[in-house]
Structure 1
Amino acid sequence: MDHVETLECTLCGAEYDPDQVIYTCPNHSGVKGILEVTYDYDAVVDRFDEPLDGDIRSQWKYRAFLPVADDVEPVTLGEGGTPLLETPRLGTELGVDLRVKDDGRNPTGVLKDRATSVSVTKAGEFGREVVTCASTGNAAASLAGFAARGGLDCRLFVPGDAPEGKLAQPLVYGADVLGVRGSYDEAYDLSMEVTERFGWYNRNAAVNPFQVEGKRTVGHELAEQTRGDVPDWLVFSMGDGCTIAGGWKGFREFADLDLVEGTPRMLGVQAEGASAIHDAFHGHDDIDEVAETVADSISVGRPRNTLKACRALEESGGESVLVSDEEVLAAESLLGRTEGIYAEPAGATPVAGLRKAREAGIVDEGDSVVVVVTGNGLKDTESAMRAGGEVDAIAPEIDDVVDRYPDEA
């Protein structure tokens, strides 16, 4: 990988060989020493010969930017290449010029597939036969699917309150799903302990430095898809902080390399019940590490990539907002009924955050905005029923239909 220079600690700047398995900088306790993959961009540009014509069949169009050796065959299910949809009805509702990037159309229904494809490819490159992670459901399903594709064993640690619908996927993919009687953070800590004891390859996006690199392809795609019409704002939900950090890094890279002109401001959205990154960005001293929200995919009490997420917000001149669970469910319904896009709660959270940012005067009327939906609504049908309402029961008689729609009979 001569296009990859080093793994650099985001805290102390210590550098590590990218050809070794290492998760965090050992100079710091816990997982604070998050590593950043750095590149020789001259070498990247020499390797990148794809036309920026909007034809994106998968994220591997940007292989030149990914930390994978040239002689390695990627483990792929066709992830990436998701559509950027014009959404005029929703835009009118929110008072902005709006487009939606629907990453719920990835192979297992979630943006995380971008990262998982890279990490499972790296697991094979490093000769590891077992992959693991902690997850509230989406990362578990993603890892299980790609592990099956790559012929690897998969062991997953999920909190006891993970939605059953999300656990069906990894079970069908043949993974060992271990329900931890505790929170996501406790499941996460256990997965890290197991990684050290057994030597399994850990996909946890918060600490695996190659994970964020896969996520940044959503930024590459958005840069290409909005080339000549870069939005004023790019909106992501935030859990561990990896996704918004990756999206910003990818978009910024294309701008730095003069492949596109300009960058958007980042708007990060968190649930009120899991607000650690927002609190850190706004300099709050009392940060609550307990997470509780209907948007389980971003229900993280101790985000490991807070620093990277805050840097993305700061570097882009962006902002962050908090939304309630009620606002998240309302946004899920709004997104569905105005544009036919079915999002899980975390995927609809950016829509709720955009509405909150409009009300607060952060986003101005008429601004150009791109919202990224990170997960499909089929991931959590129980919450979808809360958002959409009840089924109307009628008799099998025409009169019941006439009574409901008298003006149309």
Structure 2
Amino acid sequence: MSMPHVRTLACTLCGAEYDPEQVVYTCPEHDGLAGILEVVYDYDVIAESFDVDLDGNIRSQWKYEAFLPVDEEAEVVSLGEGGTDLFDAPNLSESLGVDVLVKDDGRNPTGCFKDRASSIAVTKARHAGRDVITCASTGNAAASLAGYSARGGLDCRIFVPGEAPPEKLAQPLVYGADVLAVEGTYDEAYDLCVEVTESYGWYNRNAAINPFQVEGKRTVGHELAEQTRREVPDWVVFSMGDGCTIAGAWKGFREFHELGYVEEVPRMLGVQAEGAAAIHDAFHDHADADAVAETVADSIAVGRPRNTVKACRALEESDGTSVLVSDEEILDAEARLGRTEGIYAEPAGAAPVAGVERALAEGVIEPDETVVVAVTGFGLKDSESARAAAGDATSIAPDIEAVRSRYEPDETGGTRV
């Protein structure tokens, strides 16, 4: 095997280094899963092989293959992930009172941001000769990994909390995965997945501990750097669950800045639900949060985030911060994003919009600044929450009078609705 552009895996806590050619998940010098590892690169090697053609034409994340921790001889398993659009959002901007762009990663092949990591996971697992791959998930990573496993010909075994949305469980089942609904929380499903991995030797895709998964996610930072290189936004906003998404996005953008491809970097704003606030509390030095996460945004319902260190580092290095939003604000943001721009997001994907509104109210974001919000999941992932956000269809009689009574002017000259 050969990855000349990858120098080492370094522990984020003690700095101990490990061979990147081996399957190493966490640093054994620390209890449990605390010793999260970071992939360290040789950027001289990367710069020699990367075609610096930053014209905004991004067909997939594999435009940045020189940055990705895969073996030179590996056969890439891809469904065309990445290369998602960055939309102008004039109606949303007017509604919020600040200039906003939307990076819609709900347009990835399985409908979520996780595809960036799953492509890396299945590519590496298959190249390493593994037959079975696993992860714990509230739904999105399960569907994503199942789709890429089907593409790569691997057996996929998923652990999900028992109350995961049915729509999200149907998707991995269609892809042929063995979906195990654990009678407990996401964190309990996660712990069981790790225990099974250690017992059976399955390849573990969990982005919170598998150091290579964050590296796939960081391609969104590369894309944003390329897409905004002429006018870098003041803020880039992500929702936070385990913390690895915002950490990866910041790492990718920072790399392009350090290599001289873009002149500036944005500040990162992390958004968490009030019922799942562990990273926010850690960043702001609050007391330890309750490990039980309760929020309508199931994709970020994580009580014990494994990548808190990386997430907080991204916020600190970028001179950014985090905010909390309520479930009501998240659902309102889901409906607002759909009604203003025609973008259908699941609750976690809409949370950044709610976060921008909260940050404006708190004076964190100024009205004259520019903002990119990242939508990380498609709305059909959770139709029940969508109905809660937008309401149900209006029932009418099957005749034109019912339509007239709804839309024609009434006696005061106004419309009835």
The TM tier, using the shorter chain, reads over 0.9
Q: Distance in 2 between matches of 1:230 and 1:329?
A: 29
* CA deviation map 1:194-226 (0-9, x unaligned): 000000000001000000000000000000000
Aligned counterpart in structure 2 of residue 185 of structure 1, from 160, 176, 187? 187
Q: Is the 8 A contact 2:161 2:186 kept in 1?
A: yes
Aligned mates of 2:369, 2:52 — CA distance in 1: 31
| Secondary structure of residue in 2 paired with 1:122 | helix
Distance, in Å, in 2 between the alignment partners of 1:182 and 1:289 is: 13
Q: Could you tell me how far apart the structure 1 residues matched to 2:52 and 2:381 are?
A: 34
Q: Is the 8 A contact 2:142 2:158 kept in 1?
A: yes
1:18-73 C-alpha deviation (Å, 9 max, x unpaired): 00001000000011100000000000000101410000000000000000111111
Equivalents in 2 of 1:92, 1:251: separation in Å?
Answer: 27
After the TM superposition, which segments of 4 or more aligned residues of structure 1 sit over 2 Å from their partners? none
Q: Which residue of 1 aligns with 2:206?
A: 204
Aligned partner of 2:131 in structure 1 is 129
For 1:268-279, list aligned pairs within 5 A. 268-279=270-281
Q: Does 1:292 align with 2:282?
A: no
Alignment check: 8 A CA contact 1:50 1:61 kept: no
1:131 partner SS: strand
Q: CA deviation at 1:286?
A: 3.0
Counterpart position of 2:79: 77
Instruction: Give aligned pairs, total.
Output: 409
Could you tell me the TM-score, scaled by structure 2's length? 0.97
CA distance in 2, matches of 1:28, 1:47: 36
User: 1:314-364: CA deviations, max 9, x gaps?
Assistant: 000001000000000000000000000000000000000000000001000
- Note if contact 1:273-1:292 (Cα within 8 Å) is conserved in structure 2: yes
Tell me the alpha carbon deviations over residues 277-321 of structure 1, each in whole angstroms, 9 at most, x when there is no partner. 000000012321110100000000000000000000000000100
Q: TM-score, structure 1 length as denominator?
A: 0.99
How many angstroms apart in 2 are the aligned matches of 1:348 and 1:189? 28
Q: Deviation at 1:166?
A: 0.2
CA RMSD, Structure 1 to Structure 2 (Å): 0.8
How far 1:243 sits from its partner (Å)?
0.2
Q: Which residue of 1 aligns with 2:307?
A: 305
Residue correspondence of structure 1 range 140-159 to structure 2 within 5 A: 140-159=142-161
Counterpart of 1:393 in structure 2 is: 395
For 1:343, which of 342, 345, 348 is the aligned residue? 345
Aligned to 1:40: 42
For each residue in 1:92-145, what CA deviation from the matched residue of structure 2 results, as whole angstroms up to 9, or x when unmatched? Answer: 111111100000000000000001100111101211110000000000000000
Mapped partners of 2:352, 2:32: distance in 1: 30
CA distance in 1, matches of 2:45, 2:341: 42
Provide structure 2 residue ranges, at least 5 long, that are not aligned to the other structure: 410-414
| Percent of aligned pairs sharing the same letter | 72
**Does the CA-based 8 Å contact 1:159-1:184 persist in structure 2?**
yes
Tell me the distance in 2 between the aligned counterparts of 1:20 and 1:127. 12
The alignment partner of 1:211 has SS state of helix
User: Aligned partners of 2:75, 2:50: CA distance in 1, in Å?
Assistant: 17
Alignment-mate amino acid for residue 266 of structure 1: M
Q: Distance in 2 between matches of 1:95 and 1:250?
A: 28
**Pair 1:11-2:13 in alignment:** yes
CA offsets 1:351-391 (integer angstroms, 9 cap, x no match): 00000000001000121000000000010000000001121
SS at match of 1:336: helix
Aligned residue for 2:314, secondary structure, equals helix
**1:2, 1:81 → 2: CA distance?**
26
Structure 2 residue identity aligned to 1:218:
V
**Between 69-78 and 135-144, the greater mean CA deviation after superposition:** 69-78
Secondary structure (helix, strand or coil) at the match of 1:401 reads: helix
Question: 2:178 pairs with 165, 176, 179, which one?
Answer: 176
